[in-house]
Amino acid sequence: MKRHFEFSKIYTAFRALVKTQHSDVIKCFSYDLGGEYTSNKVYELLALDETIHQTSYTNTPMQNGITKRKHRHIIEATCSLL
């Protein structure tokens, strides 16, 4: 992801993949308060499947690292499918 606005397109593709390949929905979405995941469009996407969105606590680099690794995995999986 080179720009923040690309996230909604990537998430939509990943969401469709999860629905078609696994017949399931994303239940929880964890993120830090970096800004790319805090737009109204992202909240609307999460609301489509009633996905819970959780933010990590501030000043907790260990927890932020876990979130960043999970998101890197999602982005890499989506990019490889595209």
| Angle value at C-alpha 80, between 56 and 36, nearest 5 degrees | 30
Give the CATH number, domain containing residue 26. 3.30.420.10
Residue at 81 is within a domain:
no
Number of domains the chain is built from: 1
Query: Could you tell me which of 29, 16, 41 has the C-alpha nearest to residue 70?
Result: 29
Residue at 60 is within a domain:
yes
Residue at 82 is within a domain:
no
- Please tell me whether residue 37 adopts helix, strand or coil conformation: coil
Residue at 71 is within a domain:
yes
Whether the model clears a pTM of 0.85, i.e. scores above it, the answer is no
Residue 70 structural domain: 4-76
53: Cβ–Cβ under 8 A, 6 or more apart, which residues?
A: 28, 29, 30, 31, 37, 43, 46
User: What pLDDT score was predicted for residue 60?
Assistant: 65
Taking phi over 0 as left and psi of -120 to 50 as alpha, with beta for the rest, 52 belongs to: beta
63 pLDDT more than 70? no
The tens digit of pLDDT for each residue in 15-55 reads 999 999 989 989 988 877 767 777 788 888 888 888 888 87
